[in-house]
Chain A
């Protein structure tokens, strides 16, 4: 049983396209996150979301938008993809801001 699962694992697409990455957690956690890991391996928070509040990292372009149909899902929509969006995107969840988060396996996005 995968705790945090995201699909697809690999995504290759052309510039200008719109794409989505799906994330589901079966841990019953209240908070979910999207992270971007660049080529230098730095992890940067993009969004954190629970059933009360969406917190957006102000550096994230508005082409990126999270969509949460329910507590167990947080999908990431990306419009008008650019070359610089190429990276690994991780979904994560936690039940407390003072405990560690559980991460998905990542989605490697390549924009060509």
Chain B
């Protein structure tokens, strides 16, 4: 069964303290892996798409990487405004393009 697992469930960091969020997946053929950010009371906001192992994408303090089994979202020198829930989703081959979502990692950056 296709599955996405994110860890940790929650992460508290001090401002400037770098860390990584994990997204592990098992799918029968990966078409793409997506990262989103969700703020309370709002819809998810698209961040990155990764298609193949070894690929990396960057945006400001965020960097996403992909292997054959997992993806990492690295956060460098985070600021309080980076606090949000980060969601990972995968699109499996032959899935009618549907996304399978993880439960997210709630990131809290303390000033």
Residue from B43, B45, B51 in contact with A98 in the complex, judged by beta carbons closer than 8 Å: B51
Interface of A is mostly: loop
CA–CA, A103 and B36, complex, Å: 10
A104 and B43 within 8 A (CB): yes
With beta carbons under 8 angstroms apart, the residue of A41, A42, A103 that contacts B43 is: A103
- How many positions in chain B have a CB within 8 Å of any CB in the partner chain? 25
- Give the docked Cα–Cα distance between A63 and B2 (Å): 26
User: Interface on chain B toward A: helix, strand, loop, or mixed SS?
Assistant: strand
- Contact of A97 (CB < 8 Å), options: B36, B44, B45, B91: B91
Residues of A within 8 A of B97 (CB): 48, 55, 97
User: Are A103 and B49 in contact (CB-based, < 8 A)?
Assistant: no
B98 touches A100 (CB 8 A): no
Q: Which of A40, A55, A98 has the most CB of B within 10 A?
A: A98
